[in-house]
Amino acid sequence: MSSVEIGGVKVGDGNPVYVVAEMAWSHDGTVENGKKIIDIAAAGGAQAINMHLTSVADYIVPNYGLDISPLADNKDPNSAFNYLANINLSFGDFKNLAAHARSLGLSVSIMCNDDPSLDYAAAEINPEILMIHPSCVGDRDFVARVAEKANVLLLYVGGLSLGEIERSVIAASEAGCDSIILQHGFQSYPTPIEENNLHYIPTLKKLFDVPVAFGDHTDGGDPFALVIPAVATGVGANLIEKHLTHDRSVKGEDHESALDGTTFATFVEHLRATETSLGADNWRPLGNLEKNYRNVVRKRAVASKEIAVGEVISMENVIYMRSKTGYYPEEIDAALGRKAKRTIVVNEPITADVIA
């Protein structure tokens, strides 16, 4: 599987898992909150921040109702449109936030849902990652336009069929993009544990031969919000994206799946510990700690009864027991048939020093 580079960092099999903090709409309509989220992401160990650059009027129709969002008042047919329009930031605000993120060493990922957003992001921000939401992946022409402008294209494929994913990958490739990442996972405010289907990650990697990310949307207050991304890493996710908010207690937009500052840092620590624990999948010599363990726990040859001076060493007077010294079972042939130099007492190790 080929790897891609995000801001000079390789992402793919054989490389450390790449961590993206997902701001989404958690800024709740203020640049100040956006900067807080970016600060938390940088301090917590993220490598990139993902932001949603959206021209709401070009993205959704005014009477659109977002039934799955707990913050949209569905009694009002214009609830989702009005709600998102009210907390949306300007293009210039996002340019400001992108500059702030880069000043802290973060790469910038921009999710563009419409052409005005795409054109602005490409021209004014030039993000390391351009991301396409599942709502837009079916629009092959839009996928191609994003792919043409992307340094790295991240196709968010939650809730899509294999055929839809394949058509989008083909459209992006035909547009000349050779740095593609697929992202598994979906937002269900929050997504139940049993709906994550993490075994789909290696399936996507095999089918499309590209790095695969996992966007985790587990309840940010659930202990499993730290477990599920680690498991995803274990089954082969090359990139992990997790929602981040400035303050979970405020219960603002997208807080359901979001972590706060302290928890986010712990989340990244768990990911790093997880990938360290996985090691390599190829054969390797034993490490020093394994050798020490082996020396301590393996059984060795000791006298099963007293062996007199001159008595022949045989399996009649030898037994294997845990001991600090003595021949290992595979070494015992070096002692069998030889004679004791001196009396060997019960449980005494059989070593080269006690045989002639």
CA distance 344 to 312: 11
Structure tokens belonging to residue 95: 């340019």
CA distance 99 to 76: 37
* 288-354 classified as CATH 3.30.70.100: no
Q: Where are the domains of the chain?
A: 7-278, 288-354
State the pLDDT at residue 141: 95
The one-letter amino acid code at 190 reads P
Model-level pTM?
Answer: 0.87
State the pLDDT at residue 284: 83
Q: What is the 3-state secondary structure (H, E, C) of the chain?
A: CCCEEECCEEECCCCCCEEEEEEECCCCCCHHHHHHHHHHHHHHCCCEEEEEECCHHHHCCCCCCCCCCCCCCCCCCCHHHHHHHHHCCCHHHHHHHHHHHHHCCCEEEEEECCHHHHHHHHHHHCCCEEEECHHHHCCHHHHHHHHHHCCCEEEECCCCCHHHHHHHHHHHHHCCCCCEEEEECCCCCCCCHHHCCCCHHHHHHHHHCCCEEEEECCCCCCCHHHHHHHHHHHCCCCEEEEEECCCHHHCCCCCCCCECHHHHHHHHHHHHHHHHHHCCCCCCCCCHHHHHHHHHHCEEEEECCCECCCCECCCCCEEEEECCCCCCHHHHHHCCCCEECCCECCCCECCHHHEC
Looking only at the bridges linking them, the beta strands covering 180-184 and 153-156 are parallel
For the chain, 356 residues long, give each residue's pLDDT as a single digit of tens. 789 999 999 999 999 999 999 999 999 999 999 999 999 999 999 999 999 999 999 998 887 765 545 554 445 655 778 888 899 999 999 999 999 999 999 999 999 999 999 999 999 999 999 999 999 988 999 999 999 999 999 999 999 999 999 999 999 999 999 999 999 999 888 999 999 999 999 999 999 999 999 999 999 999 999 999 999 999 999 999 999 999 999 988 888 999 998 899 999 999 999 999 998 777 889 899 999 998 889 999 999 999 999 999 999 999 999 999 999 999 999 999 999 999 999 999 999 999 99
Which of 205, 211, 209, 262 is closest to 241 using CA atoms? 211
Burial degree of 141 (CB within 10 A; 0-12, 13-18, 19+): exposed
The one-letter amino acid code at 237 reads A
Burial degree of 311 (CB within 10 A; 0-12, 13-18, 19+): middle
The one-letter amino acid code at 127 reads P
- Helices 91-103 & 31-44, crossing angle to 10 degrees? 30
State the pLDDT at residue 65: 64
Instruction: Find out whether 36 and 210 touch, Cβ atoms under 8 Å.
Output: no
Class of the domain covering 7-278: alpha beta
CA distance 181 to 160: 15
Instruction: Find out whether 271 and 229 touch, Cβ atoms under 8 Å.
Output: yes
